[in-house]
Amino acid sequence: MSKPTVHFGQHTGKGLRAPSFVAEVLSYSMEDRLEFTVRKARNRKTTSQNNYLHLLLTIAARALNEGGYGNGQQYTVERVKELLKQERVYPVVEMTIPGGEVKEFAKDTRELDKDEMASTIDNTIAFFSLYGIVLPEPNTQQTMNL
């Protein structure tokens, strides 16, 4: 069984705009039975948002290491990300644990939608500015030695 292909489209009120979907359907013979699943698309974060957050985490890790923080341990991108989650910079989700208590857990980056990612980026810049670490604002270009 082949893995399903995901296509995105939009209902315009006059018809369906989904050219890649139409092309794939037309690639089958008329005798083939096809199965379709339709669901609302998520507001996915963009690749540029993901790349930008990773750049911010890399710059922050370097700044922390150059500042002598870490008590002999090196800050990595993953450690910086964990720090941000512990400091509630990332959005949280509430989950019930055994016994009925509700706990908050930071969302993984892969779970963030476009708006949550934008908020996380803004909060990351603000968080590090409190400690004198200046991170580049969105849509700015700088020459950096990484």
Summarised one tens digit per residue, pLDDT across range 65-124 is 999 998 989 999 999 999 999 999 999 999 999 999 999 999 999 999 999 999 999 999
Q: What is the pLDDT of residue 128?
A: 97
Nearest to 81 by CA among 54, 104, 50, 48: 54
Q: Report CA 1 to chain centroid distance, whole Å.
A: 30
More confident residue, 28 or 49: 49
**12-16, 69-73, 130-134: least confident range:** 12-16
Neighbours of 104 (CB within 10 A): 10
- Tell me the C-alpha distance between 49 and 66, whole Å: 26
Q: Where are the domains of the chain?
A: 47-129
This prediction has a pTM of 0.68
